A and B are shown apart, each in its own frame.
Chain A
Amino acid sequence: EAQVTQNPRYLITVTGKKLTVTCSQNMNHEYMSWYRQDPGLGLRQIYYSMNVEVTDKGDVPEGYKVSRKEKRNFPLILESPSPNQTSLYFCATGPAGGAQFFGPGTRLTVL
């Protein structure tokens, strides 16, 4: 079954404590991306990756890092989380510019 998995699904943490949200896909797509969704602001792209070892900034990359060492995984790293990064995060994959498959989301709260 085609899947995009994210872990954890829910996370409450404190300011400054480094965290990683994992994303894994089994569809063999080269393109992967991360979005955050906030009330009134819609979904905004954080980072995307066109292929292994190829990543680029989206619209709101500040405070985030990503890596793409393998095709199937695209972790999102918050080196020093702040309360303004409290949000709902989605990983997505699919053909670049084509139909995207979204993960179930990670609800992050930074206190």
Chain B
Amino acid sequence: SQQGEEDPQALSIQEGENATMNCSYKTSINNLQWYRQNSGRGLVHLILIRSNEREKHSGRLRVTLDTSKKSSSLLITASRAADTASYFCAPPGGTGFQKLVFGTGTRLLVSP
């Protein structure tokens, strides 16, 4: 069954540095999404990349997708303290890709 796994589990960087988080999944997808969660709060959708796209940008976010390796990465450039959060990838699962499957996320700490 589908599973999204983020790597690393935790990442600590300084403001201004770039942060890269990776995601692996198991079964075929039609798209893959990334979400952010500030501590104890609801998840916020960041970006959706379709299976026929290799790369997508949104502001300081850059997402890549390699369907042959069943992997994706999220790059946050010029990180800020406000980027401190947990980040989740969500490949779709279920028949018809109608549900999202979340992993345990990457906890990112950006220090001033």
Contact = CB atoms under 8 A, between A and B. Distances in A.
A103 B104 contact: no
A74 interface: no
Interface residues of B, number: 23
Nearest to B92: A97
Interface string A79-111: 000000000101010101111111111010000
Contact of A42 (B96, B97, B104): B104
Nearest to A94: B45
A94 B44 CA distance: 12
B104 A58 contact: no
Contacts of B60: none
A77 B18 CA distance: 43
A48 B40 contact: no
Contact of B98 (A35, A96, A101, A107): A96
Given A90-B42, A90-B43, A105-B42, A100 B102 contact: no
